[in-house]
Structure 1
């Protein structure tokens, strides 16, 4: 038997630590503190009169000096508490930060993602799918073309890329297997050189899933048109 990092035990330990620290803060006299049980993370609710908000802490362990972590979230029910999944969220966030520093001040790439994510309400596509499409385009389309006046064209190109990905049943993961990923963002060499991961692989093997995804794309397109009409 080896030693394993148990996320459930870690969550309970972290909660006790935060609870003790919270009682030492002056804010504890005016704000209520409540722990919301969760197997894979720590959720805290703070409340005061009519105000209330929730904080969620997700645990992660860094792989060496890279920007790849194994995280405590994202596992299915029934999975052992010692199971951690690899996540590229930090590397992706650093890429977007890298883009924001180089993009024009009136760049609309964040607005595009926000608008499309809002249009996802009631649609099956995940925000991660749209973020993946956006990051691919940000790495291929010159940043000067993401200015505010080109906002409608940028939205159109995102939707065209998504439609093309649906038609070919292929959407490559932006980090895994992407040899053009910025070298100044540290990745394990085997991950950078890995076979590109297809996020739409399930569409290639299940015809019903593919037909449903096409219907969801049409719903997304319709919802976006409605949103644009009401915003003017």
Structure 2
């Protein structure tokens, strides 16, 4: 816009100057045309010349004045132009300075970025170096640990080898020193023959009973009676020490679970009581509304009226097999016993074996007779509820001595003890005699005042104390004598601790409740401390047992 204004101003000034010049030329031309006709006197002419000179000077001044105006405008234009040029230069300088500043800023930023990258590279290098140093140190530590472990393993191997060599030397020395007489060999052979158990039929019995229980479950699956699980064989027959002169009774525990709409709550007797004899199983009703939505013919015991339930649904477990909300042993056994004969006839083995129910109040005693040979098999079914995920069950077995209420479910360690024998059998030598020792001593203690459970506890303790390789044929008689001496010591000290209660050195194959592991060891001979007469009888019974033991060992009767 400033440039356009300057151009218009220059145009107007140039037109004005041209007009003044033309007017001056016309005046002079007119004067020249009139000059011939006018000849004034000399003095007039001189005077006129003087005046004319003054007029010319005035005209020249006027012309100069007019040209001054032009030069003024020209100067003004030049001034404006110079100002414009200066402003353009200043703008260019500003732009140049800005660009320079931007370039400087960019250069600074580039320098900073380069420095930052260099710093990061240095940091990464340092981190890598530190990591490498750490890895080297870790590798060195691992190498040192590995070397220490290898040295430790080598030392352990050396120690084991030395111990084995020492044991072998001791055994060799013992063998060299020990030269059994023919009489001793004869006694050992006769005792082993006597202690040899009968050929058990455990596998067959388990198969027969599980076929029975599967058929039972099929018929009673849609009811509110207890759900029967797979039977677990326990006792001497399944532990492998049943004697041929004794009537073998195959004892099995049948785990039961609560039916739908019910739950079992275990009440383990008095607080602090381990192996409680008065444990009870309380039955509680559970909501069945979710099941009712899936199965239209099932009604919830908690959210329906009794009249509606009695007309449209079978009674609950609380109404059938319970006494005061507690599961009743006798009612449960009676329910099973009444149905077992009819259920057995529906099994696949009904034609091969005849089943007879023997009277019992707290267990189901069955006699199976093979139709072809007439051989009889005695089976005792105990019902039990598992305590958590452990190997301890609350069973329907009788307690030793005294009356057992029908709602009492004593704790049983039979499954845990069987698992310990199985673990021992897996780790013992193929010709181990620990079961033969147990069988021989159990036969000797019949009607001698000591129960087979006491004898089994004695053997369990010595199995945990004596290495399994010591239970060999060569040491059979000496192991029998060790068992007898241990029993004598326990009677004298009036103390025989339960093998499972308070024993923290058991293998993890046997799962016990925390209360068992942390409990104070339970004394099975506590009554000897409390009753002097019982202690006197125990001493007398041991002397009889010792005599019976020696007769069986020498004369086999």
Task: State the TM-score, normalizing by the size of structure 2.
Answer: 0.40
Distance in 1 separating the partners of 2:410 and 2:504: 22
Q: What pairs with 1:52-131 in structure 2 (closer than 5 Å)?
A: 52-75=376-399, 78-131=403-456
Contact (CA 8 Å) 2:420, 2:509: kept in 1 or not?
no
Residues 88 and 26 from structure 1, CA distance in 2 versus in 1: closer, same or farther, beyond 3 angstroms? closer
**Pairing partner for 1:6 from 302, 325, 328:** 328
Pairwise CA distance, 1:72: 0.4
Match in the other structure for 1:133:
458
Tell me if 1:209 matches 2:534.
yes
8 A contact 2:498–2:523 mirrored in 1? yes
Match of 1:38 in 2: 360
Distance 1:31 1:182, change over 3 A: closer
- Which stretch shows the higher mean deviation, 45-54 or 92-101? 45-54
> Which ranges of structure 1 fall in alignment gaps of 5 or more residues?
none
**Cα offset, 1:24, TM superposition:** 1.9
Shift of 1:30: 6.4
Question: Where does 1:212-223 land on structure 2 (aligned, <5 Å)?
Answer: 212-223=537-548
Question: Which residues in structure 2 correspond to 1:12-51 (within 5 Å)?
Answer: 12-25=334-347, 27-29=349-351, 31-47=353-369, 48=371, 50-51=374-375
For residue 58 of structure 1, give the secondary structure of its aligned residue in structure 2.
Answer: strand
Q: Which is greater in Rg?
A: 2
Residue 520 (structure 2) aligned to one of 192, 195, 217: 195
Give the Cα–Cα distance (whole angstroms) in 1 for the partners of residues 344 and 402 of structure 2: 31
Asked if the contact 2:419/2:509 (under 8 Å) is kept, the reply is: no
Which region of structure 1 is more displaced relative to structure 2, 202-211 or 72-81? Answer: 72-81
Q: How big is each residue's C-alpha offset from its partner over 1:164-217, in whole Å with a ceiling of 9 and x where there is no partner? A: 111110000000111112233111111111011000000011111111111111
Q: How many pairs were matched up?
A: 232
Cα 1:31–1:142, aligned 2, differ >3 Å: closer, same or farther? closer
More helix by share: 2
1:104-183 matches, within 5 Å, as 104-183=429-508
Name which of structure 1's ranges 30-39 and 4-13 shifts more when overlaid on structure 2: 30-39
SS at match of 1:46: strand
Q: 1:26 to 1:139 in 2, by over 3 A?
A: closer
CA RMSD of aligned residues (A): 2.0
d(CA) in 2 for partners of 1:26, 1:91: 32
Unaligned runs of 5+ in 2: 1-281, 284-324
